[in-house]
Structure 1
Amino acid sequence: MRIRNKIAAAMAAAVAFAMLGSGVVPTDAVAGQDESYQRGPDPTMASIEAERGPFAVTEISVARGNGFGGGTLHFPNDTSQGTFGAVAVAPGFGESELFLRWFGPRLASQGFVVLTVETNSVFDFPSARADQLLAALKFMVEQSRAKDRIDTSRLAVMGISMGGGGTLEAAVRNPALKAAIPIVPWNIGGGYAGIRTPTLVIAGEGDIIAPTPIHAKAFYDSLAPGLNKGYVEIAGGGHIAPALPNVTTAKYSISWLKRFVDNDTRYEQFLCPIPKDPKTSAFLGNCPHS
C-alpha cells in the first residue's frame, strides 16, 4: 500500500508540475488529496505558539519581475522528510513586504516554503494582488531556489487587508489551492460561494478600516456551508493588530496550513472542537473534513 501511494504521489507531482509549466494550476484529480504529508514532530500547543518551529530556515531576497514586485523567500534547510507545501503571502494597501515578513520564518520553520510578496505597486487593488499571489506561486515552483523542495500539488495563499481580498479572489480563480487565509480582508462586492478551497478568515473585533460586518464576517458568511471554513476574530483587535506578529494569528494559520496543505490530521486538535480562546471575540467554523 505504501509503495502504491508513493508511486501515485510521484505521478501526481509530475503531472501537476507539467501543468504549472504550461500555466495551468493542478486540479484535485492529481493532488494526492488523501495522502498525509506529516513534517516535523507531533505538535503541541507550545509548538504552534512558539516563535520558531523545528526547522532551521534560509531566507533570500527575490527580485522584482515574473508578475510581482519581488519579496523574500523562506524555506526549510532540511529535506530529509521530503518536499514541502508552498505559501505566498501578500501585504495590504500602502504596505511594504516588510510589514508581513514575520510570517516567513514563522511558517517556514514549521515546514513550508514561504514567499512574502512585494506587490508591483503599494496601491494595487485586490484583483491585482490575486494576480500577483498566483504569479508568486508559479515563480516558486518553476524558478525559485527552493523549487526542488516544493510539492507542486500543495499550494496556498495568504494576505492582509487588500491582500486578504486578493487571497479570496485567488481562491476563486484556482480551486486547486489547498488553503486560503485572508487576514482582515478588504474588498468591494465580494461574494465567495464559489470558493472550493478550505478558507480561514481572520478578523479584528474593532476593525474600522475593513469593518467586519461588511468585510471579513460577510465574506465568511458567503462561503458555502459545506466548505472547510473558519472565522477567527481577535478580541479588541483593529485593522492592524491581527497582521502584526502575534500568537493568535500565527497558531491558527499554522494549524490551518498543516491540516489542509499537508493533510496532517495531528493539527485538528487545535481547530476542533471550535476553540474557546480568550484572545478571540468570535470563533466560528466546522470541524475539518475530507
Structure 2
Amino acid sequence: MPESVGSTNARCADRLREAADLLEAQGANPFRVTAYRRAADTVLHLDEDIGTLVEREGLPGLDALPGIGRGIASALLEMVRNGRWTQLERLRGSVDPVQLLTTVPGLGHRLAERIHEELHVDTLEALEVAAHDGRLESVPGVGARRAASIRASLQQMLSRSRPRRPASAPGGSAAPSVETLLAVDREYREKASAGKLPAIAPRRFNPSGEAWLPVLHAARDGWQFTALYSNTAQAHQLGRTRDWVVLYFYDDEHAEGQGTIVTETHGPLSGRRVVRGREAECRAHYAD
C-alpha cells in the first residue's frame, strides 16, 4: 500500500482509536468502545485510500465495510471531507461549534454564534433539523427567507454525507422518548452534583484550562447517551451552566441525534425540566 494511502487511513484510524480511548476513560459502554476500535482496524487495513473509496462510492461504500455502521461511516466521511470529527472534538473538550456553523454559506460569525446560543446546535445535521422544524427562522436575524437559504445550502452540503435513514432504536423510534431523555438528564445532574462523573476541560470559556465539565455516558432503552452541561456564552452569562444539559444519543449503528433539556422559566411547565422542541410531549408526560 502506498505511503500516502497508509497515512490517510492511519489518520482516520488514529481518530477512531482516540475516541475509543476517551470513551473508555470516561466510563462509556464497552460496546461503543469496541465498535470504534474494530472500525479503526478495518480502516487501517484497507487496501485502498479511504478518500478514493469516498469519491467513488460515498457513504454507502463506507457503510458496506466490515464493522462500519451508519454512524461511524458518517464520522469517516466527515474526517475525509472536512479534516475533522466533531464528536472526537467534543470528547476532547475542544469542539468549536461556531466555527463549524460558519462553513454554511451566508452564516457569519455573529449569526452563527447567535444560532448556537439560541438553539444549542453544534453539528450541521442538528442545524438542518432546526431549519426544517421552524426553530431556525425564530432566531433574531434569521427569518423565513434566510432560513430557506440555509436549508438549501445544508441540503447541498449534506446530501452526499447523510445516513440513508435517521438514527433509530432497535424498536424503530427516530429519537428517544421524552421520558427516556428526562431520565438520563436526571441521572446526569444527580451524578454531576455528587462529583461521581469524570470531567473534561473545554477549550471555550475556560482560560484556566480547568477540567470542570462533567460527562456522562449511559445506556437506556436501546440507546447510548453522552450528556454534558451546555458550555455556551449564553449559559455562562445567565448562570445556567449547571442547568442546561445537552444530550447526544446514538442508535445501535452509532448514528447520532441531539436534544437539549432545560428548566422552564415560564408558562404551565415553569420549574419543570423540558426537552426543547418537544414541549407538547413534556406537557403530556407531566400530566400523566
TM value normalised by structure 1? 0.27
TM-score (norm 2): 0.27
The structure that is helix-richer by fraction is: 2
Larger strand fraction of residues: 1
